[in-house]
């Protein structure tokens, strides 16, 4: 019965529910995911630089923010909604881009 309904009416709600929703991610979700991925990289760089500078308290604070970002990124990948106001802000990495390029 189920199969015949889909074959007769491919545009029916039952047929549409069976399409793979994860293959077609909306631009807003992919933009949010790329924002979170960028922040994760930003925080990882800042953590490394804080550890190199011996700034342990800053490094721990960045690690808490990184954990939040990774949790949010996981939720977005699973299709869940997140509160964008709770996304940790970008942080100063501790090195200028010119210093990074010279290494």
Extended strands (E) in the chain: none
Q: How far is CA 55 from the centre of its chain?
A: 26
Residues in the chain: 103
Report pLDDT digits (tens) over 7-38: 455 454 444 444 344 444 566 778 999 999 99
pTM: 0.66
Of 63, 92, 89, 87, which is closest to residue 75 (Cα–Cα)? Answer: 87
Report pLDDT digits (tens) over 74-98: 999 999 999 999 999 999 987 755 5
């Amino acid at each position: 019965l189920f199969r015949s309904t889909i074959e007769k009416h491919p545009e029916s709600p039952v047929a549409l529910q069976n399409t793979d929703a994860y293959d077609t991610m909306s631009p807003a979700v992919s933009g949010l995911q790329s924002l979170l991925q960028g922040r994760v990289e930003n925080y990882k760089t800042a953590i490394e630089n804080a550890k190199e500078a011996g700034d342990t308290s800053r490094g721990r604070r960045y690690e808490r923010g990184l954990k939040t970002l990774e949790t949010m990124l996981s939720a977005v990948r699973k299709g869940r909604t997140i509160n964008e106001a709770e996304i940790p802000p970008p942080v100063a990495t501790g090195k200028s881009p010119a210093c990074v390029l010279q290494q």
